[in-house]
Each structure stands twice: as C-alpha cells, then as structure tokens.
C-alpha cells in the first residue's frame, strides 16, 4: 500500500528547532518529487518546500534560510529540519508525493504531524 507517515512534531520554544520525518511505503522517496505542506490552526494550506528526484530543493519565502528539506534513501524517509522557529510556524505539517501521472499534483498525503511553537 502506498502510504506516508509523519512524525516528530511537538512543542518547542520560539527560536528552537524541530526535525520532522515522513516515512514512505509502497514507493521510493528518492525517485519522486516530495513536498511539505503546512496548515496553521483554522487556516488554509501553505506549501513549504519541495525536493525533486534529482535532488534540487526549493522553499517558500516564509521559511527560506530556516528550514531544510532532505531525504534518506536507506530509510525511504523524507525530513524537514526546522530551526529559528517562530510562533507563526505553528501548524500541522503534511508530507505529500507529487508524480507525473497526475501532472505533479499532490497525490498522496500523510496524516500530518503538529508543531507548536510557544513559550
């Protein structure tokens, strides 16, 4: 079964760091485009970052220089390293796959993991 499972969320103080993980099954992370999308409480969806199959990475302006997306082929896992966290980074973070078959729409989503930035 094709599936994504996020973990690593929690409560962190402003200025702190957190690393989110997204374990994939049923497909290979390295062979696909993978993104992180977040949703602040009561708000809409916001794209955060993408890593393409070739390894290129891109970020939303709101997180550029603070967040780093990466992947581990041996663990078939996607990561999001978040640092210098601010209160407005509080959100549910979803990982999602993007494939050519659906013109790189986000076709598979994880269940989400919640990051709360608060003192």
Give the residues lining the site for another protein (CB under 8 A). Answer: 35, 37, 44-47, 50, 58, 60-61, 94, 102-107, 109-112
Our CB check for another protein shows the closer of 3 and 17 to be 3
Taking a C-beta distance cutoff of 8 angstroms, is the pair 9, 115 a contact? yes
Instruction: Judge contact between 99 and 32, C-beta under 8 A.
Output: yes
Q: 46: buried, middle or exposed (CB in 10 Å: 19+, 13-18, 0-12)?
A: middle
**Min CB(100)–another protein separation in Å:** 11
Of 56, 73, 72, whose CA–CA distance to 19 is shortest? 72
Instruction: Report the nearest approach of another protein to the CB of residue 28 (Å).
Output: 20
User: Between residues 41 and 74, which has the closer beta carbon with respect to another protein?
Assistant: 41
Residue 20 or 50 with smaller CB distance to another protein: 50
Q: In the complex with another protein, which residue's Cβ is closer, 1 or 74?
A: 1
Q: Could you tell me if 84 and 18 are in contact, meaning their C-beta atoms sit under 8 angstroms apart?
A: no
Q: How far is the CB of 29 from another protein (least distance, A)?
A: 18
Distances (CA, A) of 52 to 12, 24, 32, 64: 29, 15, 7, 17
CB of 5 to another protein, least distance (A): 11
């Amino acid at each position: 079964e094709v599936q994504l499972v996020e973990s690593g969320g929690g409560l962190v103080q402003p200025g702190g760091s957190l690393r989110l993980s997204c374990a994939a099954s049923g497909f290979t992370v390295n062979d696909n485009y993978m993104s992180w999308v977040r949703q602040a409480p009561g708000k809409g969806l916001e794209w955060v970052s993408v890593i393409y199959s070739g390894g290129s990475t891109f970020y939303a302006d709101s997180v550029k220089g603070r967040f780093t997306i990466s992947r581990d082929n041996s663990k078939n896992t996607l990561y999001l390293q978040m640092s210098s966290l601010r209160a407005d980074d509080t959100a549910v973070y979803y990982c999602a796959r993007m494939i050519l078959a659906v013109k790189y729409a986000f076709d598979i989503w994880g269940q989400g993991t919640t990051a709360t930035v608060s003192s």
